[in-house]
Chains A and B, each alone.
Chain A
Amino acid sequence: MGTTASIAVHHVTRVEGHGNIVIDLRDGRLERCDLEIVESPRFFEVLLKDRPYEEAPRITCRICGICSVGHATASVQAVEAAMGVKPGPKTRLLRRLNLTGEWLQSHVLHVYFLVAPDAFGTTSVIPLADTRPDVVTRALRLKRLANDICYTVGGRHVMPISYQAGGMGYWPGVAELEALRAKLAAARADIDATVDLFTTVPWPALERDSECLAALDEDGAYPMMGGPLHSSTGKVFPARAYRDAMHEYLVEHSASKHVKGQDGTLRVGALARVTLAHERLHPRAREAARRLGLVPGTTNPFHYTWAQVAETVHAYEEAVALTDALLADPAPEERAPVTRPRGGDGVGVCEVPRGTLVHDYTIGPNGRIIRANCVIPTSQNLASIEADMRAFVPTIVDRPKEEIAHLAEMLVRAYDPCISCSVHMVEVRFLDEGVGDRGSGVRGSP
């Protein structure tokens, strides 16, 4: 008789959402495998209604403490599209620099604090700090560097306050940019060591193909500031037609909508971007990907971490280049004027660490927001996470129950969902042991 087990991963988190993993096995057969999102709706779209358009970036950056720069970026781009405002090239450059800071911060937090303990066989970052203090202190240095980028551009370490339609409310001076450039130069060894650290990590085997989606910048740069939505199916959608590329739907076990693509699950985020735009990576990032063993087009979702490490290198190299470009021409850029004062519809898309972020607004003739829709990357990945788990769990049912639970958590973490930081407490219930309701039974903590 095969394994009979119920695995429930309950997690409570302070910022990024609440979710549970539920896996039921009976006689080695998978009966249920869900990722329950139990976070209450937060109603940000409703909060935007009737607010002046200038407030949108400052309100929506509060959606996420990790992706606040991305929300400000998508939001201000949606406002600009609706109001007929076209920011100048230096404004886009400054905003892109801020996004590199956010990517660095988010990826470093994920690969060092959440994935590294799994990769190096410790239960959390605390015992890792005991055995490898050099690794954890390096992560702290890189996180501080990322914070410094965001502070220099956005006026705050998180939740920037400088984003305005057509421009930026604050422009860093030469001294600030020079200080940032010096910090970037000092960090190169830490970036190289980050790649070295993950080159030897053996990931679990899992191959499941899925459509990948990313908004590719029209200027040929690595996807970050947004552009048409490119699917691995070969289809390309204008940003304003995002509903044709990502189809939202409801599932009973999740307070978050799920999203499907052209013919099934979607993957967005680092792995999707590397798949769709590998040739746009900075040469050093491409070399890092090669050293890591990251093959463009890989269908193993555990390779998200490698993709994040490669993107960490890319974000760092872009930050260096963008800071140099700003130093070469440091004069602030004037805000672009509004050409459509009576408002209209506008869609803003950008790539945040976890994937493609969409903000879609209708702004009325009085300059107030009539309607808002935000499509968040984690919701785009949820169906893919579940499909991966349904493919993966049957391949590991002969493992000890603690290992099944641990590997299931690792798979969810690989996607770096906003709930990932709290996916750490696992309860395993074996039905054939006669244990009653879910929540009792053997508790394992990886």
Chain B
Amino acid sequence: MSEPRVSVLGVGNVLAGDDGTGVALAVALAEDGLPAGASVRVAGSDPLALLEELEAGREVLLLDACRFGGRPGEVTWLRLDDPAWPDAAAPLSLHGLDLAAVFQLAKTLHLPLERAWLMGIQPDSVAVGRGRSPALDDAWPLLVAGAHQAVRRLLDGLAPTDPAPVLSGGALALQGAEG
């Protein structure tokens, strides 16, 4: 069994409504099956999974709910070495983890954050309870297709989207962000 080159991590809490979107997407990708060279993992509330995968030399696609001011179901793409990311991490993350500390740890260890990408999905409701909001249900086929396409592109050595996400240079937009 060859080691994967691309690792997909589904992050979030499936018991908090749309916060479980990243996990649900990871499960959907696993059920559909991924091309050789890619693996998918339900990381849930384990932020260190990102570091483990980077330390193993893999390209990482992080799937997570993310408040970035878009419409529910809309997607934002970020490269995790974006200079804006450390400050933005706390308000962006929805699952109560200190992702900022994880990124700081990654930088301290000189792990290649430029090889990690976030597919962030704007949630509607993150209230306690299972299941997606109707808005994310409507967007679901596109979200799954978008994640599959991103994996294929990463396997081909490309950025996950075309055009590639542009580094914000410290000015990452957070309109409508809620802590």
Contact = CB atoms under 8 A, between A and B. Distances in A.
B69 to A, nearest CB: 24
B97 A156 contact: no
A143 B41 CA distance: 14
Contacts of B104: 126
Given A144-B52, A144-B55, A157-B41, A126 B108 contact: yes
Nearest to A129: B108
A179 B1 CA distance: 6
Given A15-B45, A175-B1, A130 B108 contact: yes
Contacts of B41: 151, 157
Interface in A140-195: 140-141, 143-144, 147, 151, 156-159, 175-176, 178-179
A262 interface: no
**Residues of A contacting B: mostly:** helix
Given A126-B101, A175-B1, A179-B1, A14 B45 contact: yes
- Give chain B's interface residue range (CB within 8 Å of chain A): 20 to 34
Nearest to A136: B109
A42 B53 CA distance: 32
B42 A65 contact: no
B65 to A, nearest CB: 15
A260 B58 CA distance: 48
Nearest to A175: B1
Given A126-B105, A130-B108, A136-B109, A144 B44 contact: no
B56 A144 contact: yes
Contacts of A141: 52, 55
A125 interface: yes
A157 B55 contact: no
Given A140-B51, A144-B55, A158 B109 contact: no
A49 to B, nearest CB: 19
Nearest to A179: B1
Instruction: Identify which of A109, A125, A140 gathers the most chain B CB atoms within 10 Å of its CB.
Output: A140
B108 A133 contact: yes
B148 to A, nearest CB: 21
Nearest to A180: B1
A307 B105 CA distance: 27
A137 interface: yes
A157 B44 CA distance: 10
Interface in B81-111: 95-97, 101, 104-105, 108-110
B105 A14 contact: no
B38 interface: no
Interface in A60-77: 65
B1 A158 contact: no
B178 interface: no
Given A125-B105, A137-B109, A158 B96 contact: no
Given A176-B1, A179-B1, A136 B105 contact: yes
Contacts of A15: 45
A147 B53 CA distance: 11
Interface in B30-53: 41-46, 48-49, 51-53
Interface of A: 14-15, 65, 109, 125-126, 129-130, 133, 136-137, 140-141, 143-144, 147, 151, 156-159, 175-176, 178-179
16 contacts: A14-B96, A15-B45, A126-B108, A130-B108, A136-B105, A140-B48, A140-B55, A141-B52, A143-B52, A144-B52, A144-B55, A157-B42, A157-B46, A157-B49, A158-B44, A159-B44
